[in-house]
C-alpha cells in the first residue's frame, strides 16, 4: 500500500509581506523556504511552526490585484495552542478574532486576505 504524507496547504495572498508579518505575529510561523522566479511574476514562501513537518505555502501572483474569492470560506487551517486564553487575548488585541464557539472551546482568526484559522486548545 502506498503511503501519503501531508506536506503543506496553500493560501494565495495579495500582499506577501503583510501576510508573512501576520502569520509571524499571530501564530509564530517563520519562513522556512522561498521561491521567486527571475521575471518577478510570482513568489512562494513556505512558513513553518518549527515543530511539525506541515507547512503553510503563501503564493503571491504579480498579475492578481483583486481580492481572492473565497466563496463561503468553509475551508480553513487549524492550529492548536498550549495556552488558548493567552492566545485569544493576543488575537483580540490584534483585532483578528472573527468567530468564537465557546461551547466547543475554540475560536477562529482571519488573516489579511480573509482566510480563517481555527485555534484549538492543545490536548494535555
Which entry of 57, 74, 110, 118 is annotated as an active-site residue? 118
118 catalytic per annotation: yes
85/64 Cα distance (integer angstroms): 37
Over its C-alpha atoms, the chain yields an Rg (Å, rounded) of: 15
Paired residues of 120 in beta bridges: 80
Output helix, strand, coil percentages for the chain, rounded to the nearest 5: 20, 40, 40
Question: Where in the sequence numbering do the catalytic residues fall?
Answer: 118
Amino acid at each position: 500500500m502506498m503511503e501519503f504524507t501531508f506536506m503543506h496547504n496553500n493560501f494565495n495572498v495579495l500582499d506577501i509581506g503583510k501576510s508573512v508579518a501576520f502569520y509571524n505575529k499571530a501564530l509564530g510561523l517563520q519562513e522556512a523556504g522561498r521561491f521567486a522566479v527571475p521575471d518577478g511574476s510570482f513568489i512562494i514562501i513556505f512558513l513553518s511552526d518549527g515543530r511539525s513537518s506541515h507547512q503553510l505555502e503563501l503564493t503571491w501572483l504579480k498579475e492578481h490585484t483583486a481580492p481572492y474569492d473565497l466563496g463561503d470560506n468553509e475551508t480553513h487551517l487549524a492550529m492548536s495552542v498550549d495556552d488558548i486564553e493567552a492566545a485569544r487575548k493576543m488575537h483580540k488585541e490584534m483585532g483578528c478574532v472573527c468567530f468564537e464557539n465557546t461551547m466547543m472551546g475554540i475560536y477562529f482568526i482571519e488573516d489579511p486576505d480573509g482566510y480563517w484559522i481555527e485555534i484549538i486548545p492543545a490536548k494535555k
